[in-house]
Amino acid sequence: MNSDTDSFAFTSARSRWPVILTGIVDDLSRTTLESDGEKAEEGKALIEKVGALKYEVEHDRTLVPLEDDGLYDVALYNSEFERQGPMSWGNAPWLYSECYLYRKLYGYLQTTAHWKDYDFFARQKLDAFKSSEVAVAELAIRYKTLSGQLHGSVSKEQLHLLFREFIDISLWGNATDLSLLTNLSLDQLQSLQGEKARKESEKNILVNDVDKAWDAIFSVEGGRVDLILDNAGFEFYTDVLFALFLLDSGLADTVVLHPKAMPWFVSDVLPVDLPVLINALGSSSVFTMAREEIDFLREQLVKYNEEGKIIVRSSGFWTTSLAFWEIRENGLGGGHEVWQDLKESKLAILKGDLNYRKLTYDAAWPRTTPFTTAIGPLATNQVKLFSLRTCKADVVVGLTEGKEEELEKAWVDITSAKGKPETGKGWAWSGKWAVMPFSSGKN
Ligand code: F6P
Ligand code: MG
């Protein structure tokens, strides 16, 4: 709940959302200035609406049902709204109110003629990706070297090691999401993304089922792997790299990428972010280093995409407020269709923090709760899933007895040593620890 003073939900609703909304107003202002005629007029109206929404959030106003903008999910949001009962911004379930916030913003765009597909986070996403240049180059070089080796004979053990490495890269790619880390300097961003930082972070993986995920992949020849994406830019680049590795090595025949269908939680991937990524990689003014290696990687990506081996498939389910417990036979809001789809996959990999919150119902589980309990019906619904999540919110499950206390103490020590002591609970949303739980779907 946003009213829980000990939670990150509390800080999010009061400090982060107003900053995010201000960022949207700035972006809209820039685009409005570059526009004329009806589009500029609509831009001004949008700026006013977002400004008014920010005022409501900051003054803890009551939430009202979504206006009908003609899209299929309004009824779903509003029936969930009824179910929750009266809510204000400062006193609402965090998951529902945060999804509602982004959905409301998308609704504003739907009332216009010229802004329907506008992404107010596109500039930010691209700028952050550009500032990842060093890590982008480092990984492109690594990928090209490995591709050469993959064409020779590679043992199962070597493939297993590489699998672990690419998973690791994709996991820590999630540490750089823009909704949290907007103030990072270039140096800080690069030090988060480099190989050395990843190696040092290995001890911070609190739940590590990577070998179970490996078994799920290796036990079926070829087949399909699904990536339920999270953030655009550098994280998406690491996910694409992982997809290329799966296809190059024959560990999968196809990889299905699942982006969001509307601007979501600032930095999430939209379908258009694949061409945006391909263009950015192709531009020698954006990425000046390791050109040969980046071109090589880009060509592989374009080729697999054209051959239908990398497929992009978007579902409105990912932007409802519903927990992933709905990914089941009688699931609501598109959950049934997603269930039917993912059952065909040999592994569904869910990236990031929000996906983990939705897997676990964003509930206040005791931290020693088994993951397969916290994901409810998903644990028995035939979908093999693997979550790659750096911890950036309150919910964390699957810890061993005593671990939580140890982490709380560690976080007090770390923050005190920096002269800014924080509550021990902050470890869970610092982004410094991670979990990688697996479920076979057959518990
Ligand atoms: O914790 C802050 C937050 O914005 C959460 O609201 C959300 O779960 C998360 O960050 C987004 O992170 P990710 O991009 O990893 O899902
Ligand atoms: Mg995200």
CA distance 196 to 182: 22
CA of 267, nearest ligand number: 2
Q: How does DSSP classify residue 225?
A: E
CA distance 291 to 282: 9
**Both tokens assigned to 317:** 């389910």
What confidence score (pLDDT) does residue 16 get?
A: 95
d(CA 231, ligand 1 centre) in Å: 10
Q: How confident is the model at residue 183 (pLDDT cuts 50, 70, 90)?
A: very low
CA distance 177 to 181: 6
- Please compute the mean of the pLDDT values over residues 156-183 and round it to a whole number: 76
Question: Atom of ligand 1 at shortest distance to CA of 393?
Answer: 1
d(CA 353, ligand 2 centre) in Å: 7
Q: Mutate which of 2, 10, 353, 361 to test ligand 1's pocket (most atoms within 8 Å of Cβ)? A: 353
CA distance 185 to 201: 20
CA of 352, nearest ligand number: 1
CA of 353, nearest ligand number: 1
Q: What angle do CA 429, 323, 16 make, to 5 degrees?
A: 35
Encode pLDDT of 12-35 as tens digits. Answer: 999 999 999 999 999 999 999 999
Encode pLDDT of 315-358 as tens digits. Answer: 999 999 999 999 999 999 999 999 999 999 999 999 999 999 99
d(CA 72, ligand 1 centre) in Å: 25
**Both tokens assigned to 159:** 């493939």
What confidence score (pLDDT) does residue 293 get?
A: 97
d(CA 314, ligand 1 centre) in Å: 20
Nearest to 384 by CA among 346, 410, 332: 346
d(CA 392, ligand 1 centre) in Å: 6
CA separation, residue 230 to residues 87, 107, 170 (Å): 28, 21, 11
- Please compute the mean of the pLDDT values over residues 251-275 and round it to a whole number: 97
Nearest to 389 by CA among 205, 266, 233, 265: 205
pTM greater than the 0.75 cutoff: yes
CA distance 117 to 39: 13
Encode pLDDT of 134-169 as tens digits. Answer: 889 989 998 998 888 887 778 898 899 889 989 988
Residue 425, phi then psi, degrees to nearest 5: -65, -20
Residue in the structure block whose two tokens are 């040593």 = 417
**Both tokens assigned to 165:** 């490495």
Q: Which amino acid is at 56?
A: E
CA distance 74 to 213: 36
CA of 172, nearest ligand number: 1
Q: Mutate which of 354, 387, 394 to test ligand 1's pocket (most atoms within 8 Å of Cβ)? A: 354
Q: Mutate which of 10, 170, 177 to test ligand 1's pocket (most atoms within 8 Å of Cβ)? A: 177
CA distance 283 to 295: 9
Query: Residue 79: which H helix or E strand, with range?
Result: helix 74-84
Q: How confident is the model at residue 176 (pLDDT cuts 50, 70, 90)?
A: low
Radius of gyration of the chain (CA): 21
**Both tokens assigned to 339:** 């269930």
CA of 9, nearest ligand number: 1
d(CA 352, ligand 2 centre) in Å: 7
Pairing of strands 385-390, 434-436: antiparallel
- Ligand 1 atom 7, closest CA: 354
Residue ranges lining ligand 1, Cβ < 6 Å:
8, 12, 98, 174, 177, 179-180, 230-231, 265, 352-354, 357, 392-393, 429
Q: Mutate which of 183, 265, 425 to test ligand 1's pocket (most atoms within 8 Å of Cβ)? A: 265
Ordered domains of the chain (ranges, CATH): 8-118 (1.20.930.60), 127-439 (3.40.50.10880)
Question: Atom of ligand 1 at shortest distance to CA of 12?
Answer: 2
Q: How confident is the model at residue 225 (pLDDT cuts 50, 70, 90)?
A: very high
Q: For residue 299, is pLDDT > 80?
A: yes
d(CA 269, ligand 2 centre) in Å: 8
Helix (H, G, I), strand (E, B) or coil at 389: strand
d(CA 356, ligand 1 centre) in Å: 9
d(CA 108, ligand 1 centre) in Å: 22
Q: How does DSSP classify residue 422?
A: -
- Quick one: what percent of the chain has pLDDT higher than 90? 86
- Ligand 1 atom 13, closest CA: 353
SS3 content of the chain, % helix, strand, coil (to 5): 55, 10, 35
What confidence score (pLDDT) does residue 341 get?
A: 98
d(CA 177, ligand 2 centre) in Å: 6
Who's near 128: CB < 8 A, 6+ residues apart?
176, 178, 189, 233, 234, 267
CA distance 54 to 32: 19
CA distance 88 to 86: 7
Given a contact cutoff of 8 angstroms between Cβ atoms, the answer to whether 246 and 255 are in contact is yes
